[in-house]
Amino acid sequence: MKLGNKIIVVVISIIGLYAGFLIVSDLATISDKISNFNTNFIPLIFLLVTSGWLVLFLRWHVLLRNAKIFIPVKDSFLIYTAGFSLTIIPGKVGELLKSQLLKSKFNIPRTKTVPVVLLEQLYTVIGIITISLFGIWYFELGIYVFSFFLIALIVVLTLISSRKLFDKAIQFLGKRKFTSKFVTPLSSSYDSIKHGTRGRILFVSSGLSVIFWFIESATVFLILMAFGITDIEFLKVIPTYTTSILLGILSFLPMGVGVVEGSLVGFFSLQGIETSLAFTVVIIIRLFTRWYPVSFGFIMLKISGGLKLRETDDT
């Protein structure tokens, strides 16, 4: 299936999912709740979300330099933000778009850039687990999800520390149909991944990831305030939001669509927010934190010529 067709199919599916939520909800009530949103918060919300992008871009820039990849900052920013667009696409195209753009524009081998993309995902998880520690005891359910991902992260870092263990894990993945496609890029990326998780780069990238999740949690807190919800402390918002994101990651769905929304509505409801209001708040949160970046990413993808890319076997 061509990239454009994949995008259309996924977007239609997601629209259908959101429409389903609206159908089973009270549309009149939701409309009334949205009308109570304080629009004075919008500029600050946009500023926070965009600031989060800059933090992630700085992490991308640091990881590229660590991999001895040097490209103009303007092109790097264009490629990085173009990658936002295909976060809605599961599978190889969505994950390796930035590698494909670097290959197309600068002839940088994907064997050199794939590890950077993989490290980004690893540091994203490290960041969300770290910030979950702030206030985790305010949200009991989050402790179980946090513990699961913390154990998984320790296992991954242990595998990275030993080539022998890493190779055994690769052999195991190769026997599973779902994970077999990751075997080749992972196997050839071991040295780069290990180098990218040692010393100063580990602390800098982890720190930037924590800052990003702090900013995103602050965005959620502001949206709650814009709806007049002031009885949920910021330290409780952090684990509530990050737990829903972790569950979305666990689902393997693009952006955790459906899982993040459903779990976050449930978590807010447990904290005393009326279900219809919780649903409205969650939709607004997702529009700002995920669909705003995706929309911006499509603009950058068009400018970068990424829509014309096709998957190839080039290295």
> Tokens representing 40?
């004075």
The tens place of each residue's pLDDT in the chain, 315 residues long, gives 555 555 556 666 666 666 566 555 566 566 777 888 999 999 999 999 999 999 999 999 999 999 999 999 999 999 999 888 877 765 545 567 888 889 888 998 888 888 898 899 899 999 999 998 887 777 777 888 888 999 999 998 888 888 888 888 777 766 666 555 556 666 777 888 888 898 899 999 999 999 999 999 999 999 999 999 999 999 999 999 999 999 988 877 777 778 888 899 899 998 989 888 888 899 899 999 988 998 898 888 888 766 565 444 445
User: Quick check: 36 and 71 in contact, CB under 8 A?
Assistant: no
For 301, half-sphere exposure in the C-beta direction (CA atoms, 13 angstrom radius) is 23
Backbone angles phi and psi of 71, in degrees to 5:
-135, 160
- The pLDDT value given to residue 313: 46
Strand, coil or helix: what is 185? helix
Distance separating alpha carbons of residues 162 and 185, to the nearest angstrom = 17
- The pLDDT value given to residue 256: 79
SS3 of 12-27: the string is: HHHHHHHHHHHHCCCH
CA end-to-end distance (rounded Å), the chain: 22
Using CA atoms, how far residue 304 sits from 53, 64, 97, 101, 193, in Å, is 18, 19, 11, 8, 27
Distance separating alpha carbons of residues 308 and 304, to the nearest angstrom = 9
Q: Exposed, middle or buried by CB within 10 Å (0-12, 13-18, 19+), for 36?
A: exposed
- The pLDDT value given to residue 80: 93
- The pLDDT value given to residue 29: 63
User: Quick check: 120 and 87 in contact, CB under 8 A?
Assistant: no
